[in-house]
Structure 1
């Protein structure tokens, strides 16, 4: 036998001397079979964009596979499913795809096929998954737009312990009042009765001022008035407001 045979979306294919030694399953899917739904970015199994589902032998459960790390010549006997094989505009979308859309779990959409195939692989494995197991399973999938919350909210609905309402509450939704210990509707509250900060915590705080090695000043403030006091004292010096540090704006 001088050829490797496998299936992709139910159709049998084979490769032999016409491919090079470094042709990956990802490259074969995209360039030879014209299945561009499987994306690529890092090419080192770190982003999850290239995930497909593969049954790699008899009596083995379907698993998620990073196709960028698999040589196509390693796929002897595999049964591979790409995102095109799970559903689409003409054949109808799968439950995973529609659930993700209903929960607004996609923005630019580039990473979405990888997320869909990762969840599809979990469901095809036949395991009774908990919400925690689903969350822990996506360590290799990256999304740069949506922020994960809506994606996990969508996929946790497939868990055996998902709430009947299908609405997964996040910590921002709970609004547990530190003073009362129960739910807070954030109404009729004084300035310091917010759920996240206690008045006592703010009153005890004081501005932290550090002279950094590069000659710049670092201030850690606890009150908006402290910000204005610093701006007044420093005059026209340039400054940067840091809150989360996801973007830097220097004024």
Structure 2
């Protein structure tokens, strides 16, 4: 079997993969990084979003072999160096942007990508950017508040109007 090597959350990672091995399966199965969730296997739900070379990617839509030499960041790599929650993770906790938690890793990773590209998004921009991430519990209002808070913006009455 061919080997694949990449840097995952700042550490070198190598493993044997079949050509059809998806990145999400390599992360979860070979590397035991189970924070990246598999929700649909069809690239619809966004639970498996990770960053590959700084870009948000649905890990169920890319082969592990395509990530040869890449830098991959998963939800496990989002915490601060001291182990405390990142600003985005803390905002999700503070603003109740999660319930069951299944979609949360993908939401956090997508939010991080958005804020990297657009540090002060509007509520509409947040909602548009997160369209590829499905949540069956929260109704998205508190997720939007969390993203706005993570960007340093006031969230007072934001995200309370019906979609």
TM-score above 0.5 = yes
Query: 2:9 is matched with which residue?
Result: 9
Which ranges of structure 1 fall in alignment gaps of 5 or more residues? 56-61, 173-251
Paired residues for 1:1-251 under 5 Å: 3-15=3-15, 18-55=16-53, 62-87=54-79, 91-125=83-117, 127-131=118-122, 132-159=124-151, 162-163=153-154, 166-169=155-158, 170-171=160-161
The alignment covers a number of residue pairs equal to 158
When residues 159 and 9 of structure 1 are mapped into structure 2, their CA distance, relative to the original with a 3 A threshold, is closer
Shift in Å, 1:134: 1.9
Bigger relative CO (Cα 8 Å, ≥ 6 apart): 2
Structure with greater Cα Rg: 1
Shift in Å, 1:108: 0.7
How far apart, CA to CA, are the structure 2 residues paired with 1:79 and 1:3? 16
Which ranges of structure 2 fall in alignment gaps of 5 or more residues? none
How far apart, CA to CA, are the structure 2 residues paired with 1:12 and 1:37? 18
Give runs of ≥4 in structure 1 deviating > 6 Å. none
How far apart, CA to CA, are the structure 2 residues paired with 1:155 and 1:133? 11
How far apart, CA to CA, are the structure 2 residues paired with 1:42 and 1:134? 23
CA RMSD of superposed structures (Å): 2.0
Shift in Å, 1:130: 1.9
